[in-house]
Amino acid sequence: MFGSMPAWQKILISVAIPTGIIVLGLIPGWTQSAYEWLWMNTAGEPFTYIMRRNPYLLFVPTFALLALLALCLPPRYWARVFLIWATYGLGLLAGHVVWGDGVINLPG
């Protein structure tokens, strides 16, 4: 996966960066402010609202991307790709459409 990278770069990519993301996720309010910054600078409204209006908007392109990935991989990995897609899709739809309480605090 890493090819001929120096050892310090391999450690940085595989350990330090994921650990940093996890630690930042534990800081109260950080994930909310990061999510808010993301949707304000991309869609202009929370992705939950977009998903509730059209749940297939992100689900179908994800399927296309993972289908392309499955075609690039040997057939023995296709079941894993489908499992990833199904898990991602169910979580995405459930989190934004089903389990959402309908209230997101908009800035301003």
Angle between helices 56-72 and 78-93 (to 10 degrees): 170
pLDDT grade for 34, boundaries at 50, 70 and 90: confident
- The pTM for the full model equals 0.45
For the stretch 67-101, pLDDT in tens is 887 788 788 887 887 887 788 777 776 766 666 55
| Rounded Cα gap, residues 88 and 27, in angstroms | 25
Of residues 104 and 67, more confidence is placed in 67
Asked whether the beta carbons of 30 and 36 are under 8 A apart, the reply is no
Enter the tokens of residue 5: 């990278």
Burial 59-89 (b: 16+ CB within 10 A, else e): beeebeebeeebeeeeeeeeeebeeebeeeb
